[in-house]
A and B are shown apart, each in its own frame.
Chain A
Amino acid sequence: MTSHSMSREEILALVPGLSDASLDALTDAGIVQPVLKGDAPRFRDIDAARLQLAVDLEDAFQLDSNALALVLSLIDQLHGLKGEMRAVLGALAAEPPETRARLRGIIRETRILRVRRR
Chain B
Amino acid sequence: MTDDPYAALGVSRTASDAEIKKAYRKIARTDHPDLTDDPAAQERFKAASAAYDLLKEPEQRARFDRGEIDAQGQERPQRRYYRDFSESPDNPYRGQADFGDFSDVFADLFGQGGRSAGRQGGTRSFDMRGQDFRYTLEVDFLTAARGGTTRITLPDGQVLDVNIPAGTRDGQTIRLRGKGGPGMGEAPPGDALLALSVREDADWRTDGDDVITVLPISLDEAILGARVEAQTIDGPVMLTVPRGASSGQKLRLRGRGLQAAGGKRGDQHVELRVVMPPSIDDELARFVENWRKDHAYDPRAVRGKGGR
Contact = CB atoms under 8 A, between A and B. Distances in A.
Asked if chains A and B come from one complex, the reply is yes
Interface string B72-94: 00001001111111111111111
B248 interface: no
B181 interface: yes
Contacts of A33: 92-93
Interface string A48-71: 111011001101110000000000
A115 interface: no
What's the dominant secondary structure at chain A's contact region? Answer: helix
Contacts of A77: 94-95, 97
A3 B185 CA distance: 11
A79 interface: yes
What's the dominant secondary structure at chain B's contact region? Answer: loop
A61 B118 CA distance: 33
A79 B86 contact: yes
A84 interface: yes
A2 B131 CA distance: 8
B264 interface: no
A73 B91 CA distance: 12
A12 interface: no
B289 interface: no
Contact of B28 (A59, A76, A79): A59
B61 interface: no
Contacts of A100: none
A46 B76 contact: no
B90 A56 contact: no
Contacts of B131: 2, 45
Q: Which of A16, A45, A49 has the most CB of B within 10 A?
A: A49
Nearest to B26: A60
A76 B95 CA distance: 8
B202 to A, nearest CB: 33
A35 to B, nearest CB: 9
A83 interface: yes
A116 B107 CA distance: 29
A3 B181 contact: yes
Given A2-B181, A60-B25, A52 B93 contact: no
Contacts of A16: 53, 76
A49 B87 contact: no
B85 A49 contact: yes
Interface in B87-114: 87-95, 97, 109-110
A88 interface: yes
Interface string B145-175: 0000000000000000000000000000000
Given A16-B53, A81-B97, A1 B82 contact: no
B34 A53 contact: yes
Given A45-B80, A50-B93, A76 B86 contact: yes
Nearest to B89: A83
B44 interface: no
B291 to A, nearest CB: 67
Interface string A87-107: 110000000000000000000
Contacts of A73: 95
A81 to B, nearest CB: 7
Contacts of B109: 88
A80 B87 contact: yes
Given A33-B92, A49-B81, A80 B97 contact: yes
18 contacts: A33-B93, A45-B80, A45-B85, A46-B85, A46-B86, A46-B91, A49-B80, A49-B81, A50-B85, A50-B93, A53-B82, A72-B93, A75-B82, A79-B34, A79-B83, A79-B86, A79-B94, A83-B86
What are the 8 closest A-B residue pairs judged by CB atoms, nearest first?
A83-B87, A79-B86, A60-B28, A46-B85, A76-B94, A53-B82, A49-B82, A80-B94
